Amino acid sequence: MFISSENSPPCFKDFTLVMPAVAVGNVGQLSVDLIVSTLNMSRVGYMHTDCLIPMTGNNPYATSNENAEELHTPAEVYTAAELKLAVLQIRAPIIQSKSKKFRQLLVSWIKSSGFSRAVVLSSSQAYQRDDQQMKGIPLRYLLTPSLLKDSEDALKELSWREMERVSAYPGLTDANTEPRLYVPGGGITKGLYTDSCAEDVPLAVLILFCSEGDNIPDAFTLVNHLNDWLHLLDDPSQKPNKWKIPTSWNLLFGSGIPPALF
């Protein structure tokens, strides 16, 4: 359930929604951090659900001491009205037994809010790629049928490749076995895409192959690809460091080893 933090609920009609999947390396979440911070997006509400591990923390996008102590929740919505852009940031793991319920919540919210399209930023284990997935850039996309007509040509002009279907049993050829969509390490990515196809939701998924570790470079790669498509920044060619790193990234790997240990 979406709960507005404003007196009058925001209107999302004809907005583009960008959201991460909780996946390998948290690349989607890091990418969303860059979008919210760079565009100085306004928080307009949050998702109230028991499907995420409950947690809270200080403002991850604080710009001064005055707003650093604001409390933030696991799933919040931000907007940039002038761009007709909304972002859902998810900061907590999804409870495994409630994964299907959370997917259904997202699909229902996207449909009822009137978004023109939704874009999921996700990632997949690089070491589990099929041979054909080793070709080209490490980015793949998926489009639901309702978005295929409007966006497929634009993505192909960018020389992006659609996520390949792979054999259910690598190395074995069986005429009776259909290739399958496989996104190892992608969390709810495959399920959300499948649900969106069934519910006729205009949804795109951008998937970056990566490994666990320092995934900041992967986040920049993914958000740059997204910007090539959606043009979130006015003139990115003139800004080599165009994305603004949020203050929360200072503690991305903790606050260091306490000197008292030694």
Tokens of 2: 């979406």
Looking at residue 223, its pLDDT comes to 96
Least confident of 5-14, 78-87, 126-135: 5-14
Average pLDDT over residues 232-257: 73
Residue ranges of domains in the chain: 11-249
The lowest-confidence range among 4-8, 25-29, 156-160 is 4-8
* Span 153-165, average pLDDT: 91
Question: Nearest 5°: CA angle at 60, between 204 and 10?
Answer: 55
Model pTM score? 0.89
The answer on pLDDT for 255 being more than 70 is no
Which distant-in-sequence residues (6+ apart) come within 8 Å of 218 by Cβ? 25, 27, 30, 123, 208, 210
Range of lowest pLDDT (75-89, 153-167, 195-209, 227-241): 227-241
pLDDT tens for 40-75 read 999 999 999 999 999 888 888 888 777 777 888 899
The 10s digit of each residue's pLDDT in 15-26 is 999 999 999 999
Dump strand ranges (E) for 60-211.
71-72, 75-80, 85-90, 117-125, 139-143, 161-162, 203-210
Of the ranges 138-147, 178-187, 228-237, 240-249, the best mean pLDDT one: 138-147
Q: How large is the average pLDDT for residues 88-110?
A: 94
According to CATH, the topology of domain 11-249 is Rossmann fold (3.40.50)
Is the model's pLDDT at 256 over the cut of 70?
A: no
Q: What is the chain's mean pLDDT, rounded?
A: 88
Whether 91 and 79 have beta carbons less than 8 Å apart is answered as: no
Give yes or no for residue 104 having a pLDDT over 70: yes
pLDDT at residue 250 in the model: 80
pLDDT confidence of residue 58:
84
1 vs 248, higher pLDDT: 248
Average pLDDT value for residue range 161-166: 91
What is the reported pLDDT for 115?
A: 95
